């Protein structure tokens, strides 16, 4: 676990400030001199404080417990229980690349927190192996103890060697850098081997591929990251119909939040290897997801008129998660409240129907004029109760449930996002996908616009 803190704290440490290594349960550690130690049934706490200033630092090593969950699930569950159950986390969690030590899988992350009047930084290190899980929690409200904390972390190592288990036939083939939790789109297949993780689909026009890549460092802006990542992913290709610096001017843009509340930015454009007027032309797409100080990178390529990959990418965005990342709250109900219409006949909204959702949890399917009208038209329909159907709705995460007056219920995955082409204005949209979807076919996601 020595690499874990080197990114989070940068300092020079004097080895004389620490005692000899000690053992607690499955972890070896060196205790900073002058710190207090309390041993309990569940764990060990090391701490120090300055009564005059109120500054403090604490490190808690918990005893290993039995688990059947994955390393990423153990981290996520421990983060919710040990960290969010104790303090108020503010801001996004910063994740470090996963490590392996003596057969253990180590996942770690850090975030800012508030605890009453105190503000500080909390770090969680979770090690999983052979049906066991152990956690280390570090908290401080000052940089005064930075050197001691770094030295403590650098001293940590696991004193048990774990022989990796393989309960999942595919687990040994998953790429070591993979941090993705994927719900496979209907009619597609997940392929994992070596350092490759892809979704694939064979069609009469050839194989479609969506590739999940390793995370890279972020500049803090997804747009700036896209500038260089797009043609690093599609190295040797050129923009079709213009120079590469027109990437944004000629592209299809989409941005929003994943179901975890992580910002994403997706850009598609036409590229060719034969110059602007020659060679085969393909539609290339890069999807970037902000994960703390890193960016997850997903890419795909399809024929210009093909829609198979577009449908798969839009399906993915309803459920795709980054493992080991705490979820940010998305105000789905607040975003949904209002009147939405689309040119599709799916999900109760069409050129003949528009749906109004109220803050009280009710919905009304309204008759729509065949002519272009403003919001006042629908407001009058609501006042005069001219609607085809009504009912109540509820949201659990990104799942919308609607119950009609007959008592029948339908569920949909829901997503809010913005899109535009080239330099046009951004438009705010909503997408729905059947919760109990047909696994034998994949459906397009039609955009609903707020009226």
Per-residue pLDDT band at 159 (split at 50, 70, 90)? confident
d(CA 29, CA 4): 14
Torsion from C-alpha of 268, 272, 278, 281, nearest 10 degrees: -50
Query: Which pair of tokens denotes residue 415?
Result: 């997503």
Tens digit of each residue's pLDDT (9 = 90 or more) over 71-111: 888 999 999 999 998 889 987 888 887 777 777 788 999 99
Tens digit of each residue's pLDDT (9 = 90 or more) over 110-149: 999 987 777 899 999 999 887 789 999 999 999 888 888 8
Please, where are the H alpha helices in 111-214?
146-155
Q: For 196-259, give the DSSP string.
A: EEEEEEEETTEEEEEEE---EE--S-HHHHHHHHHHHHTTT-EETTS-GGGTTTT-EEEEEE-T
What is the reported pLDDT for 367?
A: 62
How many CB atoms within 10 Å of residue 23? 9
Q: For 316-350, give the DSSP string.
A: HHHH-EETT-PPPP--HHHHH-EEEE-SS-GGG-S
Strand segments (E) across 343-405:
353-357, 362-367, 387-396, 399-404
d(CA 253, CA 255): 7
Tens digit of each residue's pLDDT (9 = 90 or more) over 333-384: 999 998 887 754 444 444 456 788 999 999 988 765 544 455 556 556 655 6
More confident residue, 4 or 239: 239
Query: Which pair of tokens denotes residue 373?
Result: 């009208």
Tens digit of each residue's pLDDT (9 = 90 or more) over 11-21: 333 333 445 78
What is the reported pLDDT for 174?
A: 36
Arithmetic mean of pLDDT, 382-406: 83
At 150, is the secondary structure helix, strand, or coil?
helix
Tens digit of each residue's pLDDT (9 = 90 or more) over 428-438: 999 999 999 99
Per-residue pLDDT band at 306 (split at 50, 70, 90)? low
d(CA 243, CA 446): 32
Q: In order of start, what are the domains of the chain with their CATH numbers?
A: 15-158 (3.40.1000.10), 171-322 (3.40.1000.10), 332-450 (2.40.128)
Per-residue pLDDT band at 164 (split at 50, 70, 90)? very low
d(CA 376, CA 383): 10
What is the reported pLDDT for 195?
A: 62
Helix (H) or strand (E) holding 136: strand 132-140
DSSP 192: E
What is the reported pLDDT for 386?
A: 62
DSSP 123: E
325 pLDDT above the threshold of 70: yes
Helix (H) or strand (E) holding 74: helix 71-78
DSSP 98: P
Torsions phi, psi for 326 (to 5 deg):
-65, 145
At 116, is the secondary structure helix, strand, or coil?
coil
Q: Which residues pair with 45 in a beta bridge?
A: 38, 60
What is the reported pLDDT for 171?
A: 34
Tens digit of each residue's pLDDT (9 = 90 or more) over 240-297: 878 888 889 888 999 999 999 999 999 999 888 865 455 678 889 999 999 988 899 9
**pTM, whole model, 2 decimals?**
0.59
Mean pLDDT (the chain) is 81
């Amino acid at each position: 676990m020595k690499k874990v803190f080197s990114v989070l704290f940068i300092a020079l440490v004097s080895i004389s400030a620490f005692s000899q290594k000690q053992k607690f349960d499955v972890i070896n550690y060196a205790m900073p001199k002058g710190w207090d130690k309390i041993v309990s049934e569940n764990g060990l706490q090391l701490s120090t404080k300055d009564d005059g200033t109120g500054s403090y630092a604490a490190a808690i090593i918990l005893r290993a417990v039995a688990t059947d969950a994955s390393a990423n699930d153990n981290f996520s569950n421990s983060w919710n229980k040990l960290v969010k159950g104790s303090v108020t986390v503010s801001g996004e969690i910063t994740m470090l690349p996963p490590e392996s030590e003596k057969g253990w899988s180590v996942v770690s992350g850090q975030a800012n927190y508030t605890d009453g009047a105190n503000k500080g930084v909390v770090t969680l290190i979770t090690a999983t192996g052979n049906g066991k899980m152990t956690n280390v929690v570090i908290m401080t409200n000052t940089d005064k103890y930075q050197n001691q904390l770094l030295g403590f972390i650098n001293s940590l190592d696991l004193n048990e060697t774990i022989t990796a288990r393989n309960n999942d036939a595919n687990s040994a083939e998953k790429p070591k850098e993979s941090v993705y939790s994927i719900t496979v789109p209907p009619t597609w297949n997940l392929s994992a081997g070596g350092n490759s993780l892809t979704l694939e689909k064979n069609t009469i026009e050839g194989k479609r591929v969506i590739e999940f890549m390793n995370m890279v460092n972020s500049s803090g802006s997804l747009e700036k990251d896209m500038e260089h990542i797009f043609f690093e992913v599609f190295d040797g290709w050129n923009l079709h119909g213009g120079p590469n610096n027109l990437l944004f001017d000629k592209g299809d843009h989409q941005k929003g939040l994943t179901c975890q509340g992580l910002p994403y930015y997706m850009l598609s454009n036409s590229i060719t290897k034969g110059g602007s007027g020659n060679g085969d032309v393909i539609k290339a797409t890069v999807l970037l997801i902000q994960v703390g100080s890193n960016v997850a990178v997903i890419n795909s390529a399809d024929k210009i008129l093909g829609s198979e990959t577009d449908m798969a990418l839009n399906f993915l965005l309803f459920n795709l998660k980054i493992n080991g990342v705490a979820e940010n709250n998305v105000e789905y109900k607040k975003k949904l409240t209002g009147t939405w219409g689309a040119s599709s006949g799916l999900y109760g909204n069409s050129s003949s129907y528009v749906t109004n959702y109220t803050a009280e949890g009710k919905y009304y399917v309204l008759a729509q004029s065949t002519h272009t009208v403003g919001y006042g038209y629908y407001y009058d329909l609501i006042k005069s109760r001219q609607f085809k159907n009504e009912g109540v709705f509820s949201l659990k995460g990104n799942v919308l449930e609607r119950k009609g007056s007959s008592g029948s219920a339908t569920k949909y995955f829901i997503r809010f996002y913005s899109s535009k082409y080239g330099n046009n204005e951004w438009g705010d949209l909503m997408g729905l996908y059947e919760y109990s979807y047909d696994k034998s076919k994949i459906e397009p996601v039609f955009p609903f616009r707020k009226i």
